[in-house]
């Protein structure tokens, strides 16, 4: 079969999603299934929906359009603040978008009026991770302005932590978001529908059994696809971490010294070459590189060690086994490796199992 390729096991993704849907339902939280790492794959989207996620979220309007074209029936949220230049496409294809700028909401309102549609807005609040978000002290004013725009419905508020600075979405941060929701409700005499607490980094908090307060939605991607929470990247109990794997083919396999020889300068990617002498090793080269994935995000099978990578070569030490040319090796991936592989035109995507639910 062709290599490199991603093998996507829909049964395992379904199991992961179903398990988290059930565990979070007990805590009063529903899931927006985030598809941004899948390039809008209709197979994966349909699998998440059958497992019971409430809605789909993607950071790219192109992916949302691809899912619409493939007839995926779902509430769809654009989870990155819309570009003004894409306002028309956003109101046409996304039901809701996450927002932080009044000028963007104004443009969404104009676009929605033109298209005779209404567009839902979730206002994102900055709670310390320093990526997107309205400063808490400015939220009330933003709500007031948002409510004035025609063809715009305020759907709720949300926050995103653990992405840029690794700030943990703990009980304190979630209580802060709940309190903001209460305060907006009290001021405006309404009830915010969506209080979206965050991403896969929120699962430690959400599954531990503490009070979840007003939080009723999490936007989950990595945990559904790769079975890990994202604060420590630990496997989540009962979930598959190999629902998606990357397979690459051996193109050279030779015993070689572990240390380069000659006058040493920079490498192709600017890194320093290996310095320690470990004698001869079984050096195995795979046809896989930076153009296909993030080599740093690959998890090799036992007995195989990743030594380095360039744009097209992954260098490994295959230990005593000494793999033969043409052999295939299966890697697990982290999120970075998955995103890069999914979006690489050099990597085939093979769906292993159709789900029959
Ligand atoms: C990517 C993203 C998510 C999903 O994050 P995971 O770690 O994959 O669960 C949620 N919300 C926003 C705003 C995102 O950009």
Q: pLDDT of 55-69, one tens digit each?
A: 999 999 999 999 999
Looking at residue 357, its pLDDT comes to 46
CA distances from 155 to 84, 269, 285 (A): 20, 46, 52
The DSSP secondary structure of 276-329, one letter per residue, reads ----EEEEEEES--TTTS-GGGEEPPTT-EEEEE-SS-EEEE-GGG-PPTT-EE
Strand partners, 219: 32
Which domains are present in the chain?
10-226 (3.20.20.10), 244-353 (2.40.30)
Looking at residue 355, its pLDDT comes to 65
Q: Which of 123, 163, 230, 335 best tests ligand 1's pocket when mutated (most atoms within 8 Å of CB)? A: 163
Query: Beta-strand (E) ranges in 79-174?
Result: 96-99, 119-125, 152-159
Q: pLDDT of 1-13, one tens digit each?
A: 899 999 999 999 9
Chain center to CA of 119: 24
| Distance (Å) from CA 219 to ligand 1 centroid | 6
| Distance (Å) from CA 289 to ligand 1 centroid | 26
Give dist(CA 50, CA 228) in Å, integer: 21
Query: Beta-strand (E) ranges in 85-183?
Result: 96-99, 119-125, 152-159
219 Cβ inside 6 Å of ligand 1: yes
34 Cβ inside 6 Å of ligand 1: yes
User: What tens-digit pLDDT sequence spans the chain (357 residues)?
Assistant: 899 999 999 999 999 999 999 999 999 999 999 999 999 999 999 999 999 999 999 999 999 999 999 999 999 999 999 999 999 999 999 999 999 999 999 999 999 999 999 999 999 999 999 999 999 999 999 999 999 999 999 999 999 999 999 999 999 999 999 999 999 999 999 999 999 999 999 999 999 988 999 999 999 999 999 999 989 989 999 999 999 999 999 999 999 999 999 988 888 776 766 667 889 999 999 999 999 999 999 999 999 999 999 999 999 999 876 799 999 999 999 999 999 999 999 999 999 976 654
Looking at residue 267, its pLDDT comes to 81
């Amino acid at each position: 079969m062709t290599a490199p390729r991603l093998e996507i096991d829909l049964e395992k993704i379904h199991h992961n999603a179903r398990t988290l849907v059930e565990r979070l339902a007990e805590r009063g939280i529903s899931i927006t299934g985030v598809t941004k790492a899948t390039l809008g794959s209709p197979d994966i989207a349909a699998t998440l929906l059958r497992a019971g996620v409430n809605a789909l979220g993607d950071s790219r309007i192109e992916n949302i359009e691809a899912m619409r074209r493939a007839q995926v029936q779902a509430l769809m949220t654009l989870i990155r603040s819309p570009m003004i230049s894409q306002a028309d496409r956003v109101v046409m294809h996304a039901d809701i978008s996450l927002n932080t700028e009044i000028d963007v909401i104004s443009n969404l309102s104009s676009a929605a009026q033109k298209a005779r549609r209404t567009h839902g807005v979730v206002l994102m609040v900055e709670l310390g991770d320093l990526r997107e978000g309205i400063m808490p002290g400015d939220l009330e004013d933003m709500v007031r302005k948002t409510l004035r725009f025609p063809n715009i419905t305020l759907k709720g508020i949300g926050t995103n932590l653990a992405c840029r600075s690794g700030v943990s979405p703990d009980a304190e941060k979630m209580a802060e978001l709940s309190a903001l929701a209460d305060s907006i409700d009290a001021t405006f005499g309404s009830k915010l529908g969506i209080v979206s607490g965050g991403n896969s980094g929120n699962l430690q908090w959400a599954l531990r059994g503490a009070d979840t307060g007003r939080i009723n939605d999490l936007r989950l991607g990595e945990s559904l696809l790769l079975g890990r929470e994202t604060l420590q990247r630990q496997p989540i109990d009962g979930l598959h971490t190999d629902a998606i794997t990357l397979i690459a083919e051996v193109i050279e396999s030779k015993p070689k010294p572990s240390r380069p020889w000659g006058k040493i300068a920079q490498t192709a990617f600017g890194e320093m070459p290996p310095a320690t002498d470990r004698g001869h090793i079984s050096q195995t080269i795979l046809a896989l590189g930076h153009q296909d994935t993030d080599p740093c995000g690959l998890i090799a099978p036992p007995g195989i060690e990743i030594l380095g990578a360039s744009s097209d070569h992954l260098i490994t030490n295959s230990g005593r086994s000494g793999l033969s040319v043409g052999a295939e090796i299966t890697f697990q991936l982290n999120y970075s490796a998955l995103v890069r592989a999914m979006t690489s035109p050099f990597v085939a995507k093979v769906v292993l199992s159709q789900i029959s639910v």
